[in-house]
Structure 1
Amino acid sequence: MDRLILAAEEQPLPIIPHLSELILGIVAFAVLLFVLWKFAVPRFEQLYEERTDAIEGGLKRAQEAQEQADRLKKQYEEQLAGLRAEAARIRDDARAEGQQIKAELRAEAEAEAARIKAQGEEQVAASRDAAERSLRGEVGGLSVQLAERLLGRQLSSDSARSDTIDSFLAELGGSTRRSGAN
């Protein structure tokens, strides 16, 4: 056993590295650290800055786009409100114009009705006058015949005939008026 212990003392422990391996590992680590620090870290920093700028730029562009969208929305809403007001004004104008046209048509219809009524009254008056003249002539002729029969002689002069017709019609008109008044 003593030999085993002695052999164990002469052999290095497997967990503790040899001094040469330790120095080589530190030098390799330093070279790797230097290469990384010199070449990789600046590239990572550059990529990080580019990425940060891209994100911040994207956020800034998004914010500007949002502000522009808000401005456009506000402008659109103002235009829409203006168009709604214009549409309301046009509707009101159309209603007013419709009322005016309606009133004009009503006035024209009333004027036309009055004209037709006046024309009808004129036609009735003309027909009545024509009928009255016709009746006067007939009544005049009949009254002369009656007077001639009553008197037993002929009325030869036109003035006598005319006087007889006028007096008969006057008496007839007076009795018609009195019976119409009762």
Structure 2
Amino acid sequence: MEKLIEEFSFGLFFWQTLLFGLLLFLLWKFAWKPILSAVNEREDGIKDALAAAEEAKKEMQNVTADSEKLLKEARAEREAMMKDARDMKNKIVEDAKDAANVEADKMIKQAQATIESEKKAAVAEIKSQVANLSVEIAEKVIKEQLSNKDKQLKLVDEMLGDIKLN
């Protein structure tokens, strides 16, 4: 450092300062504006890229929110469809049970009506057979009793006696 101070020259210092100033002036006049504009352009480019990245991030959040919303709606719609299908299945089962019960009641009533009509027919036939047997028996008894004249007179007397008693 002492050597620099001992060898110091004002003329050299003056010319170096003048050249440095001239260099600064030339740089300021011709290079400073392009350098600053390049730096400003780069800064603007970075700002634009950051803004675009922020916008893309917001858009991704919106898309994610929309997809979540659509997914929830799809799930809700699926659940509603499943509930409707279960309700429809239960209704069909209930309708089938009701129809089966109605058909069973109808068949039971029809069977009861058939049994009742067959019962009436059987009773009527039995009555007819009993009447026929009664007539045949009465006919045989009367023939036997009326075949003999003494028995006929005795029967008439008994009937007359019964009439008087009544």
TM-score range, shorter chain: 0.5 to 0.7
- Of 57, 61, 64, the match for 1:70: 61
Higher helix share: 2
- Of 82, 94, 110, the match for 1:91: 82
Deviations 1:97-121 (A, max 9, x none): 3212311220121011111110111
2:117 is the alignment partner of 1:126: yes
- Of 105, 108, 111, the match for 2:96: 105
Aligned residue pair count = 132
Among all aligned residue pairs of Structure 1 and Structure 2, give the percentage whose two residues are the same amino acid.
30
Using CA pairs below 8 Å that are at least 6 residues apart, which structure has the higher relative contact order? 1
Q: TM-score, normalised by structure 1?
A: 0.59
Distance 1:98 1:135 in 2: 54
When the two chains are superposed, the root-mean-square deviation of aligned CA atoms in Å is 3.0
Deviations 1:151-175 (A, max 9, x none): 4369xxxxxxxxxxxxxxxxxxxxx
Q: TM-score, normalised by structure 2?
A: 0.64
Q: What is the one-letter code of the residue matched to 1:48?
A: V
* Aligned equivalent of 1:37: 28
Distance 1:153 1:105 in 2: 70
Q: In the TM superposition, what is the alpha-carbon distance from 1:47 to its structure 2 partner?
A: 1.6
- Of 36, 48, 65, the match for 1:57: 48
- Of 93, 107, 116, the match for 1:116: 107
Distance 1:106 1:43 in 2: 92
Q: In the TM superposition, what is the alpha-carbon distance from 1:129 to its structure 2 partner?
A: 1.2
Q: What is the one-letter code of the residue matched to 2:117?
A: A
Q: What is the one-letter code of the residue matched to 1:108?
A: A
Q: In the TM superposition, what is the alpha-carbon distance from 1:85 to its structure 2 partner?
A: 2.1
